[in-house]
Chain A
Amino acid sequence: RKEVEQDPGPFNVPEGATVAFNCTYSNSASQSFFWYRQDCRKEPKLLMSVYSSGNEDGRFTAQLNRASQYISLLIRDSKLSDSATYLCVVNQVNAGNNRKLIWGLGTSLAVNP
């Protein structure tokens, strides 16, 4: 099982739609969680850190479910400019108490007019 798994998509949705992505992680000792956004041929940009209580930033809502070991990202009222790859990132702690960021392969979203 991969350490961090995402559905690669692509997700094709019309403008205004609500879309949700899930990301599962295998290491229950993982401590912190993030969503990054990456546009084609651009650098990744931090979209949201994911907190245990869930957090919302405008049209974006991130949730963490530690019991089931997944995080989610919900985008409401999709805009054309939301088209990008969304990368799930998990801060994992290994047996030696060393921290390492594990990146998912990303989920591709295309918002269509």
Chain B
Amino acid sequence: DTEVTQTPKHLVMGMTNKKSLKCEQHMGHRAMYWYKQKAKKPPELMFVYSYEKLSINESVPSRFSPECPNSSLLNLHLHALQPEDSALYLCASRPGGANTGELFFGEGSRLTVL
């Protein structure tokens, strides 16, 4: 079982809705990530937080807004999304000192935008 917990597992929203995805880990990891994955494609990096500060934004549209309230929590706020934003949104964390590629993923939130 994964130690990175994501909620909700499934989300259906309209283009005018505002919703949030949540991610939680209690492993003491200080780097947390949001990835987006479409079917039959690899994960695509969106944001990286390091020690609760946003360190990487991969030119993600502003309709996606990340937030890191504390070292255990990571949110992704969604507003005015498009149908093409439908995807699996994966949260990941990495232990401090671990190799950059050694990520622990949550099970993901499967988002459908109508």
Task: Write the residues of chain A forming the contact surface with B, with a CB cutoff of 8 angstroms.
Answer: 32-34, 41-46, 49, 87, 89-91, 99-101, 103-106
In the assembled complex, how far is the CB of residue A86 from the closest CB belonging to chain B, in whole angstroms?
11
Pairs of residues from A and B, 5 with the lowest C-beta to C-beta distance, nearest first:
A103-B42, A43-B105, A34-B101, A91-B101, A91-B100
In the complex, whether B46 has a CB less than 8 A from a CB of chain A is: no
Whether B101 and A32, one on each chain, are in contact in the complex, defined by CB atoms closer than 8 angstroms, is yes
Chain A, interface SS category: strand
Contacts beyond the supplied A34-B99, A41-B88: 10 A-B pairs with Cβ under 8 Å: A43-B2, A43-B106, A43-B107, A45-B105, A87-B42, A90-B101, A100-B45, A101-B45, A101-B100, A106-B42
The residue in chain B whose Cβ has the minimal distance to the Cβ of A102 is B42
Give complex CA distance A90, B42 in Å.
13
Instruction: Tell me the count of chain B residues lying within 8 A, CB to CB, of chain A.
Output: 17
Contact partner of A103 (CB less than 8 A), chosen from B43, B99, B102, B105, is: B43
Known: A42-B107, A43-B105, A44-B105. A91 touches B42 (CB 8 A): no
In the complex, whether B90 has a CB less than 8 A from a CB of chain A is: yes
A-B contacts, 22 listed (Cβ < 8 Å): A32-B99, A43-B2, A43-B90, A43-B107, A43-B108, A44-B43, A44-B103, A45-B105, A46-B102, A46-B103, A46-B104, A49-B99, A89-B101, A91-B99, A91-B101, A99-B100, A100-B45, A101-B45, A103-B43, A104-B42, A105-B42, A106-B42
Give complex CA distance A101, B102 in Å.
10
The residue in chain B whose Cβ has the minimal distance to the Cβ of A42 is B107
Give complex CA distance A17, B100 in Å.
33
Give chain A residues whose Cβ lies under 8 Å from the Cβ of B41.
Answer: 105
In the assembled complex, how far is the CB of residue A91 from the closest CB belonging to chain B, in whole angstroms?
5
In the assembled complex, how far is the CB of residue A8 from the closest CB belonging to chain B, in whole angstroms?
9
The residue in chain A whose Cβ has the minimal distance to the Cβ of B107 is A43
Give chain B residues whose Cβ lies under 8 Å from the Cβ of A90.
Answer: 101
Question: Which among B41, B90, B100, B105 has the highest number of chain A CB atoms within 10 Å?
Answer: B100
Give chain B residues whose Cβ lies under 8 Å from the Cβ of A104.
Answer: 42
The residue in chain B whose Cβ has the minimal distance to the Cβ of A98 is B56
The residue in chain A whose Cβ has the minimal distance to the Cβ of B90 is A43
